């Protein structure tokens, strides 16, 4: 729907492209707040060429400048530095030449989707967060985010002497899974038989919930009743025993992984859980050993005690972070 108030000023285009959904927004440069333009399901498009054609049509339908965006920042669930962007958990692929055909007047920046989440962290307010346990946030100190969703993303943000945020991105969702309890060791045995190497992403994502559930069913000698993460989570909320054990293990492993990240990055600015799973099951997370496992770091338990842990409830921190990246001086 066209908006006559948009005008002809240069605008930015930002995107948050994951394994399940892709969201796009426009940004008026002096405002920095993204305005939702379109949300697409990955499964509805055969390739990224179709996505861009649809996006440009939607851009024009909103009455945005015919010349297109002046800047573009796309946050992708893939390594962003390669010539061809191939998504870890989706069939989409694109390169800069494809983007250039549609965004002829735009500078283009590709960043990791969790780099965008990390960039958004300093801009989030208390209304965008749900605190888990006690702990504080020290201003100007490193902040780190981990996000179970279609996959598992990790990124952090540090600050220079002027307070300018600097994003540190990587592929922390693919570090080795380190079991703590006897039952987690049993689950690891079964996942190792299936995958060989087992990263935390094999447990800490939607498919990971199914992996845990199936492994526990085998261990318990029962027939799995559910086959999707949504059904398992819903059953856990209804106190189904196997589903409840699954989600309890999921959040316990998430707590251990978040605690490891706090130690690794010195995240005195807080640890932030992003992605679509945790906000949906905050009730289960609060009842789990998430915070206890975050603190269970032996001689360094006291180190993590004062570090705040939060669930991000903002609608799309990735879009916000991409918008902020557009405004950052390079």
One domain, residues 114 and 190: no
Average pLDDT, the chain: 92
pLDDT at 301: 94
DSSP labels for 252-312?
A: HHHHHHHHHHHHHHT-TT-EEE-SSHHHHTHHHHHHTTHHHHHH--GGGHHHHHTB-EEEE
One domain, residues 59 and 139: no
One domain, residues 185 and 78: no
DSSP code at position 177: P
One domain, residues 111 and 182: no
- For residue 237, pLDDT over 70 is answered with yes
- For residue 4, pLDDT over 60 is answered with no
Range of the domain at 76: 4-118+317-327
Distance of alpha carbon 58 from its chain centroid, rounded? 25
One domain, residues 214 and 194: yes
One domain, residues 94 and 237: no
- For residue 89, pLDDT over 80 is answered with no
One domain, residues 229 and 294: yes
pLDDT at 1: 42
One domain, residues 251 and 142: yes
One domain, residues 97 and 217: no
pTM of the model: 0.89
Structure tokens at 252: 């316990």
Question: Distance (Å, rounded) from C-alpha 204 to C-alpha 261?
Answer: 14
One domain, residues 155 and 275: yes
| Mean local confidence (pLDDT), 292-313 | 96
What's the Cα-to-Cα distance from 190 to each of 132, 193, 195, 255, rounded to whole Å?
31, 5, 9, 22
The CATH number for 247's domain is: 3.40.367.20
Question: Distance (Å, rounded) from C-alpha 329 to C-alpha 276?
Answer: 30
The CATH number for 108's domain is: 3.30.420.40
Give me the number of domains the chain comprises. Answer: 2
| Mean local confidence (pLDDT), 71-78 | 91
One domain, residues 84 and 141: no
One domain, residues 176 and 309: yes
Model confidence band, residue 7 (pLDDT cutoffs 50, 70, 90): low
Model confidence band, residue 77 (pLDDT cutoffs 50, 70, 90): confident
141-197 per-position pLDDT tens digit: 999 999 999 889 999 999 999 999 999 988 899 999 999 999 999 999 999 999 999
């Amino acid at each position: 729907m066209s908006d006559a108030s948009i005008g002809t000023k240069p605008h930015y285009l930002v995107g948050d492209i994951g394994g399940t959904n892709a969201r796009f927004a426009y940004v008026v440069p002096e405002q920095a707040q993204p305005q939702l333009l379109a949300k697409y399901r990955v499964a509805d498009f055969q390739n990224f060429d179709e996505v861009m054609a649809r996006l440009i049509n939607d851009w024009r339908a909103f009455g945005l400048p015919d010349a297109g965006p002046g800047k573009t920042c796309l946050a992708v669930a893939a390594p962003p530095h390669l010539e061809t962007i191939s998504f870890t958990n989706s069939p989409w692929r694109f390169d800069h030449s494809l983007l250039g055909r549609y965004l002829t007047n735009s500078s283009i920046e590709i960043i990791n989707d969790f780099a965008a989440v990390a960039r958004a962290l300093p801009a989030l307010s208390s209304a965008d967060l749900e605190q888990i346990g006690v702990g504080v946030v020290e201003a100007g100190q490193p902040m780190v985010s981990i996000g179970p969703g279609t996959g598992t993303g990790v990124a952090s943000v540090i600050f220079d002497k002027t307070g300018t945020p600097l994003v540190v991105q990587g592929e922390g969702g693919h570090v080795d899974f380190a079991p703590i309890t006897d039952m987690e060791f049993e689950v690891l045995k079964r996942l190792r038989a299936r995958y060989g190497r087992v990263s935390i992403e094999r447990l800490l994502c939607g498919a990971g919930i199914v992996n845990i559930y199936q492994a526990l069913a085998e261990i318990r000698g029962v027939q799995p009743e559910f086959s999707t993460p949504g059904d398992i989570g819903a059953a856990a909320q209804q106190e189904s025993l196997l589903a409840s054990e699954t989600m309890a293990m999921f959040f316990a492993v998430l707590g251990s992984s978040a605690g490891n990240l706090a130690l690794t990055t010195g995240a005195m600015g807080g640890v932030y859980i992003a992605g679509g799973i945790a906000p949906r099951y905050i009730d289960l997370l609060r009842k789990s050993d998430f915070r206890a496992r975050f603190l269970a770091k032996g001689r360094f338990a006291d180190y993590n005690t004062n570090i705040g842990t939060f669930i991000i409830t903002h609608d799309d921190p990735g879009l916000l972070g991409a918008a902020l990246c557009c405004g950052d001086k390079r």
